[in-house]
């Protein structure tokens, strides 16, 4: 990711709205951004690359094959340079390719390679915009964290009147600017995130555990890293790949998680405890697999340390965010945890609903602080991660005064 003047990579696809991207490029430059352009072949039928080359003073990428040789593979260097990638206008076809992860030209290859936030401003005929397949593609991309600037209503190039017109370029520029500011708001901040559930062994093959998939914590770690934070992710056993640019520590038990957290706590600015830490562990672990005939009548349990409460007790000035998995009286119980564990913010969720919380892609949460409670609608976990880190960034800012 670029440092210095933020770089916006504007991707232009083949729609009549492509001419409005000229204005967008100028607007972004006026707002202090460096702008680079990547176009599909179809887009060059509407506006020439020369126009954008002249506006930006930068080479315009179109083909994977024909450009001048670069020191680095071109789509990768573009992908890495971008602080934000914005596809304006985005056709139904390119949206479908993005949703499927297809990469068959310079624009889609760069979009797949970049870690930068993606802003998509679709423009198409009303019927295409309303089609079930297009709606699904929008949802898939939203769930992956893409920000959509919805098309407006009006007269379309095809003569129809309805939804599908490219949104006002000032609104698109605002959305891009918001993402660009976000992409740096945690630079210099060390964020420690815990994720997944701990496993407390009974014997070498059995354990006490829970259904946490790690999706929530991994999304938070990934988003924090994307916004410039130094991230340590301490995770219980989950089947997710390491997020980009994070220190990842894989542990099994609550005691191991505690040790990994405490080892990093002194250099940490923010702790987000999204892990489902087991409150109890078997008092003794059998060295060998317990045979069916030798099964004990009961397993004696011992209390695990409460990692978050221990951090709260220290009163260290580190910003502490806890989660609360509740099945009833969600807010009241979360408020009690906020106080008992002496944390700044509790993200409470109702885990009695099997469609949300543990293992799912979506969740609905309550942000509980000493100042009050904010309730969200059902959102993708990446959107929750983004929203939560907006709140963390604001809290850090208010502490600075
Ligand atoms: O991983 P996913 O599938 O995406 O699921 C997400 C989630 C449901 C696990 C997540 O949204 C969530 O609710 N995480 C917290 C689960 C939990 O342990 O809640 P709790 O109410 O029991 O604990 C309250 C807080 O204390 C939590 O921040 C927890 O990490 C912490 N804790 C709990 C016990 C313990 N021994 N030590 C702790 O630090």
Q: How many CA atoms lie within 13 A of 318 on its CB side?
A: 28
**pLDDT of res. 1:** 44
Task: For residue range 73-108, list pLDDT tens digits in order.
Answer: 677 889 999 999 999 999 999 999 999 999 999 999
Bond prior to 89 in cis (omega within 30° of 0): yes
Contacts of 132 (CB under 8 A, 6+ apart): none
CA 373/CA 366 separation, integer angstroms: 6
Q: Could you tell me what percent of the chain has a pLDDT over 90?
A: 86
State which of 196, 210, 235, 274 you would mutate to test the pocket of ligand 1, scoring each by most atoms of that ligand within 8 A of its C-beta.
Answer: 274
Phi–psi pair at 68, nearest 5 degrees: -60, 145
97 in ligand 1 pocket by Cβ < 6 Å? Answer: no
Task: For residue range 377-390, list pLDDT tens digits in order.
Answer: 999 999 999 999 99
Q: Could you tell me what percent of the chain has a pLDDT over 70?
A: 97
**pLDDT of res. 70:** 53
189 in ligand 1 pocket by Cβ < 6 Å? Answer: no
Task: For residue range 223-232, list pLDDT tens digits in order.
Answer: 999 899 999 9
CA 384/CA 27 separation, integer angstroms: 30
254 in ligand 1 pocket by Cβ < 6 Å? Answer: yes
CA 13/CA 88 separation, integer angstroms: 7
CA 346/CA 368 separation, integer angstroms: 5
CA 296/CA 305 separation, integer angstroms: 25
308 in ligand 1 pocket by Cβ < 6 Å? Answer: yes
Q: In the 8-state DSSP scheme, what is residue 352?
A: T
Give the residue, by CA position, lying nearest to ligand 1 atom 31. Answer: 308
Please compute Rg for the chain using Cα positions: 24
CA 391/CA 401 separation, integer angstroms: 15
Please give the domain boundaries of the chain with CATH numbers for all domains. Answer: 7-182 (3.40.50.1950), 190-400 (3.40.50.10300)
CA of 323 from ligand 1 middle (Å) equals 5
Q: Is the distance from CB of 212 to CB of 236 less than 8 angstroms?
A: yes
Average pLDDT, the chain: 94
158 is catalytic: yes
52 in ligand 1 pocket by Cβ < 6 Å? Answer: no
How far is Cα of residue 32 from the mean position of the Cα atoms in its chain? 25
| pTM assigned to the model | 0.88
117 beta partners = none
Give the residue, by CA position, lying nearest to ligand 1 atom 18. Answer: 276
CA 44/CA 47 separation, integer angstroms: 5
Ligand 1: nearest atom to the Cα of 309: 39
Beta strand residue intervals within 25-99, DSSP E: 34-39, 84-90
CA 251/CA 192 separation, integer angstroms: 14
Task: For residue range 307-363, list pLDDT tens digits in order.
Answer: 999 999 998 899 999 999 999 999 999 999 999 999 999 999 999 999 999 999 999
- Can you state the percent helix, strand and coil of the chain, rounding each to 5? 35, 25, 40
Task: For residue range 201-258, list pLDDT tens digits in order.
Answer: 999 999 999 999 999 999 999 999 989 999 999 999 999 999 989 999 999 999 999 9
Contacts of 24 (CB under 8 A, 6+ apart): 10, 86, 88, 169, 172, 173
Q: In the 8-state DSSP scheme, what is residue 85?
A: E
349 in ligand 1 pocket by Cβ < 6 Å? Answer: yes
CA of 273 from ligand 1 middle (Å) equals 7
Average pLDDT of span 139-160: 88
- Around Cβ 261, how many Cβ atoms within 10 Å? 24
Task: For residue range 253-274, list pLDDT tens digits in order.
Answer: 999 999 999 999 999 999 999 9
Can you tell me whether residue 18 is helix, strand or coil? Answer: helix
Ligand 1: nearest atom to the Cα of 321: 28
Contacts of 268 (CB under 8 A, 6+ apart): 190, 191, 192, 232, 318
């Amino acid at each position: 990711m670029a440092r210095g003047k933020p770089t916006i990579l504007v991707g232009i696809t083949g729609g009549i709205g492509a001419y409005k991207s000229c204005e967008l490029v100028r607007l972004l430059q006026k707002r202090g951004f460096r702008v680079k352009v990547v176009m599909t072949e179809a887009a060059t039928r509407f506006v020439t690359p020369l126009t954008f080359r002249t506006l930006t003073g930068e080479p315009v990428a179109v083909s994977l094959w024909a450009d001048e040789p670069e020191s680095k593979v071109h789509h990768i260097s573009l992908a890495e340079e971008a602080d934000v990638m914005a596809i304006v206008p985005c056709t139904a076809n390119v949206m479908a390719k993005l949703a499927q992860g297809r990469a068959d030209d310079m624009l889609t290859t760069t979009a797949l390679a970049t870690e930068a936030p993606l802003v998509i401003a679709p423009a198409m005929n009303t019927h295409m915009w309303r089609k079930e397949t297009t709606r699904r593609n929008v949802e898939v991309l939203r769930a992956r964290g893409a920000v959509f600037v919805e098309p407006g209503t009006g007269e379309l190039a095809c003569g129809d009147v309805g939804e599908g017109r490219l949104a006002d370029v000032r609104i698109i520029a605002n959305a891009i600017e918001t993402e660009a500011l976000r992409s740096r708001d945690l630079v210099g901040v060390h964020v420690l995130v815990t994720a997944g559930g701990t496993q407390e062994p009974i014997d070498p093959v059995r354990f006490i555990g829970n259904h946490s998939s790690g999706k929530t914590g991994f999304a938070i770690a990934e988003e924090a890293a994307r916004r410039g934070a130094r991230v340590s992710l301490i995770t219980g056993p989950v089947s997710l790949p390491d997020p980009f640019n994070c220190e990842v520590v894989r542990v099994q038990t609550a005691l191991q998680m505690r040790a990994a957290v405490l080892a990093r706590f002194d250099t940490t600015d923010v702790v987000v405890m999204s892990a489902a830490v087991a409150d109890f562990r078997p008092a003794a672990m059998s060295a060998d697999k317990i045979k069916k005939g030798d099964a004990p009548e009961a397993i004696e349990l011992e209390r695990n340390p409460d990692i978050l409460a221990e951090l709260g007790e220290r009163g260290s000035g580190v910003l502490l965010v806890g989660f609360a998995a509740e099945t009833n009286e969600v807010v009241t119980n979360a408020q009690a945890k906020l106080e008992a564990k002496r944390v700044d913010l509790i993200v409470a969720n109702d885990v009695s609903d099997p469609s949300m919380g543990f293992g799912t892609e979506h969740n609905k949460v309550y942000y509980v602080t000493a100042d009050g409670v904010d309730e969200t609608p059902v959102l993708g976990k990446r959107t929750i991660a983004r929203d939560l880190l907006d709140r963390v960034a604001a809290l850090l800012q208010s502490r600075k005064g």
